Amino acid sequence: MRNIYSIASLNINGIANQTRIQMLQEFIWKQDIDIVLLQEVTNRAIEQIRNYTKHVNIGTDNRGTAILVKEGIQIGNIKCLPNGRGSQGYWKEYT
């Protein structure tokens, strides 16, 4: 049987403000998103989001991407572009 995941791609425009990080976290939780692909990540503030494994790739120009994966979903084989503009991984549910 094939699993269905809820995936979102969001441009967060470099948010670092604690209030906005909290708003992002609440949005992700309320929408019950399994995998979140973030663009325009400028700092590691998103690592504060609970219940997700974070893979942050900030490049040489201080802009980057991130992948947030809900706990219970395994992600591996992460590949990142050195300039921060891209990340990829493969995921599967823990058995």
Q: What is the CATH number of the domain that holds 76?
A: 3.60.10.10
- The mean predicted confidence, pLDDT, of the chain is 84
CB atoms within 10 A of CB 31: 11
Question: Within a domain: residue 75?
Answer: yes
Backbone φ and ψ for 32, nearest 5 degrees, come out as: 55, 50
pTM for the complete prediction? 0.82
Residue 24 lies in a domain: yes
pLDDT tens digits along 24-35 = 999 999 999 999
Distance CA 18, CA 44 (A): 12
Residue 16 located in a structural domain: yes
Q: What 3-state DSSP class applies to 45?
A: helix
Residue 51 lies in domain: 7-93
Pick from 58, 23, 17, 60: which is nearest to 38 by CA?
A: 58
Is 2 inside a domain boundary?
A: no
Q: Specify the number of domains making up the chain.
A: 1
Residue 49 lies in a domain: yes
Domain annotation covers residue 73: yes
Instruction: Give CA–CA dist 6/80, Å, rounded.
Output: 22
Q: How sure is the predictor about 1, in pLDDT bands with cuts at 50, 70 and 90?
A: very low
